[in-house]
Structure 1
């Protein structure tokens, strides 16, 4: 064995040892999650993600990110992107994500995300990315004209998580495949370099409303990209608009069933009952029992009142925070400093493992 190889092997052993020690000495598990600033936040974002973050910050070291690097995988008007980034951050804070308890920042302010993503571009395999169903859905028939960023953004997502050695990631059903890719990348990196550096990341799938569907078509996910504004509740909607959208939500002619089994083949009914349960802190079975045999007129009236009671204060506080750009910007800037302070030592260890010369 050459002197260079021996030295490198020694360095890897030292890195592995120090990494293992760091893991064993850490007592608190770490959560990472993010949301894109591409259009309005919706009820789906709130129930499926942000509301859960509020609870997680009590039990985990929590890092929550506005993923503006992900957003530009498709064209974004620059000023719209800036405003949307502030709006998403304001939505987090208004919903109860506390900047004093959690780290809140936008991704582009922490350069280590992009740097680790490139390293992971060299670890991930084309075959893995070819299996990613979301690229096929988003690119559609014009995949040859899609950006390279859209194709490789699962590698950036892996970098987002592993840059902080996050142990848990709250995900919706549609993100489970990307988390599996993150685990594959972590395992391959560890195997390639003979280290136990990156942890196994566990998914956290929380609550009944992890997948909120359109108010106009219960077979499609509620989306900010849907051309019909009546298909979703935006966190920028006022109380009257929220109530109107619930009252006009699509239903069917049958009464509400006694149990969730009676929702089979009734996607709109199932969606509204799921939303009611999530907002009221009840199971779908409890909601069905409460409204069994009743028509949707009474149910939607109560759901509209409940939605306004829960979401109204959030949307109003979000509007106030969005108008106070200085405060939101300061939260993001301070959060970025805290995130970078965690990320940089980890990235330097990765540099050492990979074999980059120190400056």
Structure 2
């Protein structure tokens, strides 16, 4: 069965190893499958749910495109575009916000996590952005959406909106009900300084993450300084429940090599961290140093990156404009 796949990445700068293993690596594999029609969106409308520096946002949009291409996503075979240049996204988001129910949005745990204790000061956009995410997906009749555990709830909202719209306007199967694509054998990538916290660009210490723009020397230094524990590497996966830093580093190695965590444990069981880190450094440098070099090269050719976006936005607009036209007709707009 041919799959129509939609996914997006926020252009917030400093894309890191967690973004690569959790999303971009998977995008490349999906895009290389001839049976897939892939649409990859730089979701810049989502990015402004928190305040952005306008000049930096422009650069971050280009850097996200550069990261896609440097990682192996072919802009000729896949659509790469930025959301703000296709007006149907904002139009559909408003219409779908009139379909979605407050109770549905109140259940979204990500808003509670991101807004924190002072949610009264959070933007309305941060609260309602799952509706915009639904618009992103439903405009393209996406059959499948790659999601991590933290986004499954938002995809469920997209499905609820699609079903309610179809029922309310008696349009059977007009909005397609998307299915999740969840990566197998993937562990969430955690901070190199604290194995209980997710790897994040917002963490103060740059030593907590491997940025995709890090060169070989930076990668070596960060892994050598990565937090560990004093015991040898375990023989049993159950031991990792109480050893978050060991679990994180072993998971990174496993994900980069496309092998199970069990296989990695059997390979390094009983060895010390210094020996394991040498192997981890080698695979990280082999995989990421070429990507880093290519990102830096592409960022010096802004005209090329802008041409990719121009072409992608034209293709995306051709699809989305037809869908929003039909949506508006169904609703009753002239």
TM-score range, shorter chain: over 0.9
Task: Identify which of 270, 283, 292 aligns with 1:293.
Answer: 270
- Is 1:305 the counterpart of 2:279 in the alignment? no
- Residue by residue over 1:254-296, the C-alpha shift from the partner in whole angstroms, topping out at 9 and shown as x without a partner, is 2111232221211111111110011112111110010000111
- Residue 95 of structure 1 is matched in structure 2 by 71
Following TM superposition, the consecutive aligned residue runs of length 4 or more in structure 1 with deviations greater than 2 angstroms are: 207-210
In 2: Cα distance, 1:64 partner to 1:283 partner? 28
Residue 330 of structure 2 corresponds to which residue in structure 1? Answer: 353
| 2:28 aligned partner | 54
Tell me if structure 1 keeps the 8 A contact 2:9–2:42. Answer: yes
Q: Give the structure-1-normalised TM-score.
A: 0.90
Query: Which of 95-104 and 206-215 deviates more?
Result: 206-215
Alignment of 1:120-131 (within 5 A): 120-131=96-107
Please point out which of 249, 274, 288 is paired with 1:272.
249
Please show how residues 226-237 of structure 1 align to structure 2 within 5 Å.
Answer: 226-237=203-214
Matches of 2:90 and 2:3 in 1, distance apart? 24
Give the aligned partner of residue 127 of structure 2: 151
Q: Secondary structure at the match of 1:141?
A: coil
Aligned equivalents of 1:132, 1:300: Cα separation in 2:
38
Alignment counterpart, residue 222 of structure 1, candidates 183, 186, 199: 199
CA distance in 2, matches of 1:314, 1:295: 29
8 Å Cα contact 2:13-2:64 kept in structure 1 = no
Cα root mean square deviation, aligned: 1.0
TM-score of the two chains, using structure 2 as the length reference: 0.97
Question: How many pairs are equivalent?
Answer: 331
Unaligned stretches of 5+ residues in structure 1: 1-26
Secondary structure class of the residue paired with 2:75? coil
- The match for 1:326 among 272, 282, 303 is 303
Give the unaligned 5+ runs of structure 2: none
**Does the 8 Å CA contact 1:49/1:210 hold for their aligned counterparts?**
no
Could you tell me whether the CA contact under 8 Å between 2:233 and 2:272 is conserved in 1? Answer: yes
Contact 1:173–1:210 (CA under 8 A) maintained in structure 2: no
Instruction: For residue 210 of structure 1, report the CA deviation from its aligned partner.
Output: 5.0
Q: Which has more radius of gyration?
A: 1
Of 89, 99, 106, the residue aligned with 2:82 is 106
Whether 1:173 and 2:143 are equivalent positions in the alignment is: no
Q: Is the contact between residue 187 and residue 251 of structure 2 (CA under 8 Å) also seen in structure 1?
A: no
CA distance in 2, matches of 1:266, 1:190: 48
